[in-house]
Chains A and B, each alone.
Chain A
């Protein structure tokens, strides 16, 4: 059972599974950011929403009324990044300070709903890992694995961290809290990249440690 979120795209209601909605929010948010300072921002966003709605329509039938994540991801790929040809848009250069504050405000507004929650839906223990996975938009198995690896490497300290988070981090209970758990798209993307990088570094370090241990063992 998945929560579904209803949104209005240019005046018509569409239903998205919660993670599909998050993917759509990321796209529209980055579009808004790309159009910061553009005098026709509202109109272009309406055009984009309409184009997204048209593309979603092909996935909807009388017996299938909800858009899932893979579908919205395909739609977003087809739409392409919003590119307003910086070289041609004078406001960007002449009023860069104004555009800068506008972008800053947009960041602030989008940052507000970002929250870390525990998500008991599909949790193994308490939902800390699931919450972190949703927050970072990475696979929950990866987070769990990292926790186990960290627990081994830190001699149990990570287990303590988990226990503390169990009590401190709130649960996502309401429908509003579930999308809020996914938070600000831009930060999510940055965090995901950082998490991936860290995971790679950790894996590399683990492999290196394994190798040295192995070679020492043979000596």
Chain B
């Protein structure tokens, strides 16, 4: 818990990218996203994820469908829209460029 707050701010910005990447080309249930993030530095709670998913949907980057589940009520399954896929590609390209910059700028 004694983590540098600067790293925390950096991570917050990347969460959106990771969520888009986890959804990727498939359809994903919110609990799957949390499970995938849980074991990483990006461990996230529902209180953060749901507002983020809702904002990404409002921005047209993702969409959801209701699907029946064997146990319990129907669930939302998220998938990327065309705009979301484009955004993910841009993120990837930017990340690669950023990495190259960080690697090269010190030498």
* Per-residue interface assignment for chain A, residues 39 to 51, with 1 indicating a CB less than 8 Å from any chain B CB and 0 otherwise: 1100110011011
**Apart from A47-B76, A48-B46, what 4 extra A-B contacts exist at CB < 8 Å?**
A11-B73, A51-B30, A83-B51, A89-B55
Give the residue of A57, A80, A89 whose beta carbon is less than 8 angstroms from that of B46.
A80
Q: Contact: A10 with B55, CB < 8 Å? A: no
Within 8 A of B (CB), among A73-97: 78-85, 88-89
Is B58 part of the binding interface, using a Cβ–Cβ cutoff of 8 Å?
yes
Task: Decide if A80 touches B47 in the complex (CB within 8 Å).
Answer: yes
Q: A residues within 8 A CB of B73?
A: 10-12, 50
A83/B54 in contact, CB under 8 A: no
- Per the bound structure, the CA–CA distance linking A216 and B46 in Å amounts to 58
Note all chain B residues with C-beta closer than 8 A to A57.
72
Residues of chain B lying within 8 A (CB to CB) of residue A84: 51-52, 55
Is A139 part of the binding interface, using a Cβ–Cβ cutoff of 8 Å? Answer: no
A51 to B72, CA, bound (A): 12
Min Cβ gap A197→B in Å is 24
Interface range for A: 20 to 34
A-side residues, CB < 8 A to B, are 10-12, 31, 35, 38-40, 43-44, 47-48, 50-51, 54, 57, 78-85, 88-89
Contacts of B50 in A (CB 8 A): 44, 47-48, 51, 82
Question: Are B72 and A54 in contact (CB-based, < 8 A)?
Answer: yes
Greatest chain A CB density within 10 A among B30, B48, B50, B55 is at: B50
Please, how many angstroms separate the alpha-carbon atoms of A83 and B44 in the complex? 11
Q: Which residue of A lies closest to B43 (CB)?
A: A80
Q: Contact: B47 with A40, CB < 8 Å?
A: no
B12 close to chain A: CB less than 8 A: yes
Give the distance to chain A from B60, nearest Cβ to Cβ, in Å. Answer: 13
Most buried by A among B30, B51, B52, B58: B51
CB < 8 Å: which of B30, B47, B52, B58 contacts A79? B47
**A83–B49 CA distance with the chains assembled, in angstroms:** 8
Of the candidates A54, A78, A82, which one forms a contact with B51 in the assembled complex, judged by CB atoms under 8 Å apart?
A: A82
- Asked if B67 is at the interface (CB within 8 A of a chain A CB), the reply is no
Closest approach, in angstroms, between the C-beta of A60 and any C-beta of chain B?
12
Contact B12 A85 (CB under 8 A): yes
- Flag whether B45 is at the interface (Cβ < 8 A): yes
B52–A48 CB distance below 8 A: no
A52 to chain B, nearest CB (A): 8
Q: Write 24 A-B pairs (CB below 8 A) sorted by A numbering.
A: A38-B54, A40-B54, A43-B54, A47-B54, A48-B46, A48-B47, A50-B73, A54-B72, A57-B72, A78-B45, A79-B47, A80-B45, A81-B47, A82-B47, A82-B48, A83-B47, A83-B48, A83-B51, A85-B12, A85-B51, A85-B52, A85-B55, A88-B55, A89-B55
